[in-house]
Every structure is written in structure tokens, then in C-alpha cells.
Amino acid sequence: MSKTTRVALVTGASGGIGRAVARRLATEGMAVGVHYAGNRKAAEETVAAVEAAGGRALAVSGDVADEGAMADVFSAVEEAFGGIDVVVHTAGVMTLAPVAEFDLDAFDRLMRTNVRGAFVVAREAARRVREGGAVVTFSTSVTRLAFPGYAPYAASKGAVEAMTLVLAREMRGRDVTVNAVAPGPTATPLFLEGKDQETIDRLAAQPPLERLGTPEDIAETVAFLAGPGRWVNGQVLFVNGGIA
């Protein structure tokens, strides 16, 4: 590894947006820690795809809400590649139901992963990301669109936005940017699961560009924030084709 090689850790990189982000950052010459929670095979496929394109990657596993496990994940990436410059936290869960019908155990599980998990990862990033680096968290356009059934998920991402904006200011003097990306409807397994074709078509028709986003669309924005977008800091970027 060259001493000038930048290193990224992408949580939830075994599939969907996380996988697209890992592959995109690798094209920028970054070595990539490919984090996964349970799907080792999918994470290894992401690593293989990065390596097949000439990049370097390492699969690392841990529960994002477990501070010990995530400290080990960060340490493994640092040991393999010499440090960490970019942390992209895409890992999350989405459970949908109206407020009146939402199961409180499901609510607690969602908040543990989406809020506590985001905080644990942000805390490790704040301690470890090198000067000139970047932290990118993930929110959702649903915080503004207010789709029925999304209240707990949107609430969890609202918390992520708040943490992100505060952390950007707490990193003063470190030359580390901290931003959140808020995708709109994006064709990932997490988004498509449980939706009929009529619902998918209706959502795809809402943006002026008249299509769903792709994981690659979102990865382009992350690559900008992780690389040349040094003057963008403490912001929530809505990446949704103009839906709102």
C-alpha cells in the first residue's frame, strides 16, 4: 500500500447503496473496508468486484450498534490499510406500518440500528478519521416527503441528520467534512421489498426525471463528498431526482 492511498470504510456494503458506494470509491483509488452485519457471502462478492476492477478491499463484520464490535471493525481496516480517511455509514433497517399499528418491539429494533448504530459509527469516525477526510451519513428524503407508514423510519433518520450537523461543527480544526445524503426512492432490495408494481410505478413517476434512483446515482454524490467536495460541510444533500 502506498502511504498516499486513501482508505474508506463503508458500512452496509454487502449490497444495495453500500455496495455501489464501495465500488465507486474504489474507482477513485481508495482501499475499501467492506462492512457487513450478517451476509458474509454478499460482502465477499463486493470485495471480489472491487478487486476484479483492480482495487483493494477487505470484508469486515460487526453489529453497528455494538461499540466493541465496531471498534474492532475500524481497527481491522486501519491495520490492513494504514488508517481511515473516509467513513460512509449506509447500514440501516426499514420497517413500515402506520403509527397506530406499529409494534413497539419493532420500533426499538429500528431505533437501535438506525440511531444508536449511526451514533456508534459516528463516534468511532470522529476519533479516527485522518486530517483531510470525510464522514458521510445517510438520511432519507422521507423526512420531508412524509409518506404514510414511514414515521419511525423517518424519525430515526431525522436523528441522524441532527447528529451529522452537530458533528460537523465538533470537528472544527480537523479538516474533516461531515455531511448527510438523503436519497429519494431508490431501486434497492430494501426499498422494493413488500411493494407491488403499482406502488413502484407511482413512486417512479414522482420525480421530474420520471424514474427511480439507482444505487449508482447515490454513490456518485458520496464520491463527491468523499473527494473533491471539500467546501460542502454540515449539510443534508437530497439526492432524489427533484422529487422535493
User: How many Å apart are CA 75 and CA 128, to the nearest integer?
Assistant: 9
* Per-position DSSP letters for 28-54, written without gaps between them: TT-EEEEEESS-HHHHHHHHHHHHHTT
Catalytic residue chosen out of the listed positions 74, 153, 191, 238: 153
Catalytic residue check, 150: no
Question: What is d(CA 220, CA 133) in angstroms, rounded to the nearest whole number?
Answer: 17
Report d(CA 13, CA 43) in Å as an integer: 7
For residue 224, the SS3 value is: helix
What's the CA gap between 36 and 123, in Å, rounded?
18
Q: Identify the three-state secondary structure at position 239.
A: strand
Q: Catalytic residue positions?
A: 153
